Structure 1
Amino acid sequence: MITVAVPSQEVADALGDPGPDARVIVWNPAEGDAPEAERDRIALVCMPHWTAGRRVYGRLAACPELKVIQIASAGYEHVAALVPPGVALANARGVHDTRVAEMTLLLALASQRHLPQFLDAQRRGVWEPDQDTPSLADARALIVGYGSIGEAIAVRLSASEVHVEGVARTARTAPDGTEVHAIEDIRGILPRFDIVIVVTPHTEETDRLVDAGFLAAMKDDALLINVGRGKVVDTDALLAELESGRLRAALDVTDPEPLPDGHPLFAAPGCIVVPHIAGTERLTNRRYTDLVRRQIQALAQGEQAVNQVLIGAFPA
């Protein structure tokens, strides 16, 4: 019998009957140690959003039968070094695709059609028409980090009559037919695109990928959208381009994060900032609970964890 720990009763209720091979208990490792009667039974722990730290993962290490840690995000760099030895870490790849794609489309439309300008006029109670807002249709968009989220973004942009291409580690034609370029070629193709969408995780390879040289290669009045990780973009370099009026930006993630009160990005011309809310999926929604059910099935059948990204090798 597989014992599955979920962080709240609401998640347990949404998950429902896990089947004959599993039982569900409520335990949030961020709030305290595992229940003593359950510590030696727990095989799968589902972590709540924004949960990390050595103290929390030390509580997981105290569960001797733990096999899989299911985190709630696609990114896992914040916990990679904390996973107990021999335990699989699984991310939530696929769970957040729709929500990130929706926010990306919203940011693109809002920026292209100057929505912040009109909302500001509304707040001031004045009528300020602007007939010269660029359309999203017929724009050319480059998605940097063409994985499952990138594909979901491409579907929505294509429906808006946007020409979409992608960037990944290697060049290929994606299953949806999108042309995907190798990351090493990105500087040469940037001038061809009106919109550049960053959806990459933060790694050593992507740290400050969007630097002054990258931004300089973008065409005049191009829009940079970041729904990946804040540290992928050099904030000072981006501010310089925004303040010059040459580029525009729409940011769900920033560096630093959260932005301190009064940070220059808040007031930068042509910049929309939202507080890292693009992909936060409720853990009671079906995309997450479906993933947990598949995780239980994989455990029951002795298979590799769904969305397994690493096996812990170092003490937490």
Structure 2
Amino acid sequence: MSHNPEETARQGLPAALLLMNARAFDDLFDSARLERLRRLVRLGEPMRLDDLSGPDATARLLHTEILITGWGSPLLGPDVLDAAPALRAVIHTGGSVKQHVSRAFWDRGVLVTSAADANAVPVAEFTLATILLEGKRATRYVEGYRRHREVDGPWRDVIPPAVNFGGTVGIVGLSRVGRRVAQLLRPFDLEVLVADPHVDPADAAAVGARLVDLDVMLSVSDIVTVHAPALPDTHHLLDARRIALLRRDAVVINTARGSLIDTDALIQRCRDGSLRAILDVTDPEPLPADSELFDTPGIVLSPHIAGAMHAETRRLADSALDEIDRLRQRLPPVHRVESASLGIIA
């Protein structure tokens, strides 16, 4: 029997298992955060697994009370519940849990939390930066300057006027990210509109926006940014008819899910030079190397970088660690994922 007070205290901690790939683990847990994790839970060996195949997983799951999951973690199905009779909580260090955790966990009463609020921060920051740069038409001036090698000249006349003063930004979906984008836009001289069937005018007003019909928003906005969840009824939410509603020289930004936009219709509209699209997500993802999106004028692609990257992921780790701390203190979780919300969240 151990007489080491520190070891005795550690034995009283809940047993936890990290279930994520090595890259996610290295990004999330620097030495300080790993040390905090060790003060909150008891980590066995191996403390991290990529998947749940093999004898190591069987042995570790038997006594695991808290599963800490992340990007790259496998789907947790009913078989995991059978193998982990002591499991009390799944603490997800990423955003969406729908592709990682089966509904059986909610049916069994296992607490599920996510770091979606923390991940919304960099996505909203990326979106704000893109709105302001596109509203200034900055990237078009940069490209024109590179091509023509002169500060002034006829090439500038074909670039549409900047809209960062008095322009209109339309937000599709008052999600976590959509709300934060609206709030970040408050200091700027822009009208902010929101289209979302699940909110009321007071919800939009609370973040400095005005609730309108989606078709109306598309027809009057200079910049449209998409933040709706990918659901059966939002597939191609921006279809050919709605893309045609967008005013000339409008800009569409998508940092949500590629399936929300009809790619073929978007390509056709951008080809005629009347629309720009900034896409951090695509359908499919990743794109095949011969995708038309790479070569369509007016379409700018980034490789799904809006969400937390590198040091930004530490914010997600902090969120997860805070939830574990609350769980140990028998305090209610802040970021619980409710089963009733699974049908409307990303």
TM-score, with length taken from structure 1? 0.82
Determine helix, strand or coil for the equivalent of 2:233: coil
Letter of the structure 1 residue corresponding to residue 42 of structure 2? R
For these two proteins, the number of residue pairs brought into alignment is 309
Q: Which residue of 2 aligns with 1:258?
A: 286
For residues 305 and 249 of structure 1, what CA distance do their matches in structure 2 show?
A: 38
Determine helix, strand or coil for the equivalent of 2:49: coil
Cα deviation per residue 1:251-284 (whole Å; 9 max; x = unaligned)? 1111111111131112222221101110134488
| 1:68, distance to aligned residue in structure 2 (A) | 2.2
Letter of the structure 2 residue corresponding to residue 112 of structure 1? G
Is the 8 Å Cα contact of residues 173 and 179 (structure 1) preserved in structure 2? no
Q: Which residue of 2 aligns with 1:3?
A: 15
For residues 22 and 310 of structure 1, what CA distance do their matches in structure 2 show?
A: 24
Structure 2: which 5+ runs fail to align?
Answer: 1-12, 341-346
For residues 52 and 37 of structure 1, what CA distance do their matches in structure 2 show?
A: 17
Determine helix, strand or coil for the equivalent of 1:308: coil
Is the 8 Å Cα contact of residues 54 and 82 (structure 1) preserved in structure 2? no
Determine helix, strand or coil for the equivalent of 1:146: coil
Cα distance change on mapping 1:282 and 1:52 into 2, 3 Å: farther
Determine helix, strand or coil for the equivalent of 1:65: coil
Q: Which residue of 2 aligns with 1:51?
A: 73
Q: Which of 68, 84, 106 is residue 89 of structure 2 equivalent to?
A: 68
Determine helix, strand or coil for the equivalent of 1:27: strand
Is the 8 Å Cα contact of residues 172 and 180 (structure 1) preserved in structure 2? yes
Tell me: higher relative CO, structure 1 or 2? Use CA pairs within 8 A at least 6 residues apart.
1
Cα distance change on mapping 1:24 and 1:115 into 2, 3 Å: farther
Q: Which of 212, 237, 251 is residue 240 of structure 2 equivalent to?
A: 212
- State yes or no: 1:229 paired with 2:257: yes
Cα deviation per residue 1:177-208 (whole Å; 9 max; x = unaligned)? 423537xx311332221111101121122111
Determine helix, strand or coil for the equivalent of 1:96: helix
Compare the two structures and name the one with the higher helix fraction: 2
Cα distance change on mapping 1:306 and 1:23 into 2, 3 Å: farther
Q: Which residue of 1 aligns with 2:116?
A: 93
| 1:20, distance to aligned residue in structure 2 (A) | 6.5
For residues 306 and 157 of structure 1, what CA distance do their matches in structure 2 show?
A: 26
Q: Which residue of 2 aligns with 1:23?
A: 42
Q: Which residue of 1 aligns with 2:273?
A: 245
Q: Which residue of 1 aligns with 2:231?
A: 203
Structure 1: which 5+ runs fail to align?
Answer: none
Q: Which residue of 1 aligns with 2:325?
A: 297
Percent identical among aligned pairs is 25
Cα distance change on mapping 1:122 and 1:262 into 2, 3 Å: farther
For residues 117 and 179 of structure 1, what CA distance do their matches in structure 2 show?
A: 28
Cα deviation per residue 1:124-171 (whole Å; 9 max; x = unaligned)? 683364375514232211111113322221233233322212232132
Determine helix, strand or coil for the equivalent of 1:151: helix
Cα distance change on mapping 1:22 and 1:233 into 2, 3 Å: same
Cα distance change on mapping 1:299 and 1:40 into 2, 3 Å: farther
CA RMSD of aligned residues (A): 3.3
Letter of the structure 1 residue corresponding to residue 100 of structure 2? V
For residues 116 and 21 of structure 1, what CA distance do their matches in structure 2 show?
A: 47
Letter of the structure 2 residue corresponding to residue 11 of structure 1? F
| 1:53, distance to aligned residue in structure 2 (A) | 4.5
| 1:311, distance to aligned residue in structure 2 (A) | 5.6
Is the 8 Å Cα contact of residues 179 and 207 (structure 2) preserved in structure 1? no
* Greater gyration radius: 2
